[in-house]
Amino acid sequence: MHRALEKVFSAGRYHWVERRHPLQWLANLWEHFQEWIDRLNAGHPNLSWAIVVVATVLLVMLLTHIGYTLWKVYTVTARPADQPARGAAGVVLLDAHAHRITAEALAREGRYAEALAHRFAALICDLDEGKAVTIHPSKTPAEYAREARLDSVGRATIVDLVSRLYAILFGAAPVDEQAYREFADNAQFVMLHVSTR
C-alpha cells in the first residue's frame, strides 16, 4: 500500500511547489520589522518606549501639517457662496446691461482693454440668460466659448472674440476705439446665433 501511494504521488501532477506571492517580500520585511521591535523591546525597554513616543509625536506633527495645508488650500480656492462669479480679467459678473454701461464708460475714458473685458462679460451674461452657457466662477472665457450652444457661425465668432480678448488682456496687444467697437459689434452678433437645440 505504501509503495502504491509513493508511486501515485511521485507522478508529475502531484508535485507541489510553493508559489510565491508578488508582494511576499513586503510580508517578509514586515515580519523582520516585528521581530526587530520584539528584540528591541526585550533588550532595551526604555529605548523602545522612547522610539514609540518620538514616532507618535512625528505622526501628530505630520497629520497637523497635512490638515493645515489642506485647510489653507481650501480657504484660498473655495469661493464663499455670497461672493459673485468673475469673468475675464477678474470682472465681477453682474448683469449684461450693467456691463455694457461700464464698457461704454471705460471706452469713453480710453480704457479699451478694460472695456473689452466688460463687453465680454456682458456677452456671457446674455448667453447665460439665453441658456446658452451656465455661469460659474471657475470658468475661463475659452471654457465659455467651448460650452456655448451656438451655431457654427456664432461659435467661430465667439472663438475669435476670446482670441482677441486674450491677446489684448494677456499679450498686451494694442487696442483702440475702432477695435473696441468691432469687438462690441461682434459680441452682439454672437447673440443672433444662439442654438435652439
Identify whether the C-beta of residue 131 lies closer than 8 Å to the C-beta of residue 197. no
In tens, the pLDDT along 22-61 reads 888 888 899 999 998 889 889 988 998 999 899 999 999 9
**Whole-number Cα distances in Å, 167 to 137, 170, 171, 185:** 22, 6, 4, 18
For residue 195, the model assigns a pLDDT of: 74
In tens, the pLDDT along 37-47 reads 889 889 988 99
CA distance 41 to 48: 5
Nearest CA-CA partner of 122 in 143, 95, 83, 104: 95
C-alpha dihedral sign at 21, 26, 30, 36: positive
CA distance 152 to 159: 11
In tens, the pLDDT along 57-98 reads 999 999 999 999 998 888 777 655 555 555 555 566 678 888
C-alpha dihedral sign at 52, 53, 58, 63: positive
pLDDT at 10 exceeding the cut of 80: no
Q: By percentage, how much of the chain surpasses pLDDT 90?
A: 36
pTM, two decimals, is 0.55
Cβ-Cβ contacts under 8 Å for 86 (sequence gap 6 or more): 92, 93, 137
